[in-house]
Amino acid sequence: MAILRAVTARSDYDFTNGNCTADTTSARIAPYANVGVNVPDSYSDPGGKSELQAYFDSVPEVWVQFHYYSTIAEFNVTRTGILFYLGTQVSGGTLFALDWNFGPNSVALIIYNGSSWDTVASVSTAPFSNSTRYRIDVHLKISDTDGIFRLYRNNILILDYVGDTLRTAATAVDKLWFRTPYTSTGSTTIFSGVIVADEDTRHMVFHQSEPVSDGANDDFVGAAASSLSKTALEIPPLALIRGDTGDAQTFVMEDIDGALSAYDVKAVVLQARVRRAPTAGAQNAEMVVRHGGTDYAEALPALEPDWQPTQMIYHNNPGTSAPWTQADVNAAEFGFKAVA
């Protein structure tokens, strides 16, 4: 049982399209996140093509938690249809969705059957209000006999389907899309605090920590913690670039919020946006966890010339090989090491 992905900032996503922007208004984003992403309405972005995409390991059963906020209720405006999709990374791989355009005051869960969309569950009681933040948990299991497609709003089940969810050749999903269903000018639709897992997310809480100061490793050029941005799509060009093999940079991070002291740590997810420097020298990188005065490094995929998101998920503390404690997380440093 594992965390498959966690995202909240625009730079966390594998793909963004349109005029998506950062939003840091606390009332609009997940309670323990520092930033979310506003996906603009299709009036401001002609064609309604603004979207966010996140990829994860392919699984036949998945849970997704996300926080959603809009300045207008779903039944008050013209809608283009879809709030989120689940599917595959192949072209045209949208398979499961929440349809905002099902009918007056209504939303529906829909499944693609290879040629059209089947409605499997709907609610006609206007389940979402304007200017209100909601936590959504989605449970999907692909099976032709005991499939599941459910949606919970603030931990309350409001859409439920059990039965045949295997309606194409795809037996697993590995991709999540977020879009705005609105065509009304000036609408705000914000997504934040996203957890993708192969187990129940309803008991989980998303917590985001950011660098607050340079750590024990301080080799990288331009690596001051203050130069790292949670709202920009790319890290500033000199923020974490160094040509010398073996150089490392770690950061002291914000502590876990004290209001969560009773919670266990399910996983630590390190997220950054990286690229290969267009110069000679070290051309790749490792993610580093520094615990108890020792660095624990893990190789990242080969870096590309253009900025790319990268994520490393630690279910256990590499310094102890045991599950993280909150004290472990608060005392650790996190960063990068340059390698050949």
pLDDT above 70 as % of the chain: 84
| Sequence-ordered list of residues with C-beta below 8 angstroms from that of 176, at least 6 positions apart, any chain | 5, 53, 54, 55, 56, 64, 84, 85, 86, 194, 196
* Least trusted range by pLDDT, from 44-48, 87-91, 92-96, 318-322: 44-48
pLDDT of 136: 97
The structure tokens listed for 44 are 């401001």
Helix locations, the chain, DSSP H: 326-331
pLDDT band of residue 333 (cuts 50, 70, 90) is very high
Distance from the first to the final alpha carbon of the chain = 34
pLDDT of 243: 58
Contact between 338 and 248 (Cβ < 8 Å): yes
The structure tokens listed for 285 are 């990188």
CATH architecture of 3-197: Sandwich (2.60)
Q: For residues 43 and 228, which has the higher predicted lDDT (pLDDT)?
A: 228
3-state secondary structure of 158: strand
pLDDT of 220: 78
62 phi and psi angles, rounded to 5 deg: -145, 150
Measured on CA atoms in the order 245, 248, 249, 250, is the torsion positive or negative? positive
Contact between 315 and 298 (Cβ < 8 Å): no
- Averaged over 75-83, what is the pLDDT? 61
Q: What is the pLDDT of residues 11-27, one digit of tens each?
A: 899 988 888 889 999 99
194-211 burial: b if 16+ Cβ within 10 Å, else e: bbbbbeebeebbbbbbeb
Strands (E), 129-264: 132-141, 147-153, 156-163, 173-179, 189-197, 211-218, 248-253
- Averaged over 259-281, what is the pLDDT? 88
* Least trusted range by pLDDT, from 43-52, 126-135, 259-268: 43-52
pLDDT band of residue 306 (cuts 50, 70, 90) is confident
Cα separation of 61 and 177, whole Å? 17
pTM of the predicted model, to two decimals? Answer: 0.92
**Residues 127-133: contacts with CB under 8 Å, at least 24 apart:** 127/153, 127/158, 128/68, 128/70, 128/73, 128/74, 128/153, 129/73, 130/70, 130/71, 130/72, 130/73, 130/76, 131/69, 131/70, 131/71, 132/69, 133/27, 133/28, 133/29, 133/67, 133/68, 133/69
Cα separation of 76 and 229, whole Å? 35
27-44 burial: b if 16+ Cβ within 10 Å, else e: ebbbbbbbbbbbbbbbbb
Conformation bin of residue 200: beta by default, left when phi > 0, alpha when psi is -120 to 50? beta
- State the DSSP string of 279-313: SSS--EEEEEEEETTEEEEEEPPPP-SS-EEEEEE
Nearest to 119 by CA among 127, 129, 107, 111: 111
pLDDT of 114: 94
Burial zone of 304 (CB within 10 Å; 0-12 exposed, 13-18 middle, 19+ buried): exposed
Strand 61-70 and strand 82-87: the pairing is unpaired
Q: What is the pLDDT of residues 178-210, one digit of tens each?
A: 988 776 656 778 999 999 999 999 999 999 998
pLDDT of 179: 87
Q: Is the pLDDT of residue 45 over 50?
A: no
Average pLDDT, the chain: 87
Question: Where in the chain are the domains?
Answer: 3-197, 211-339
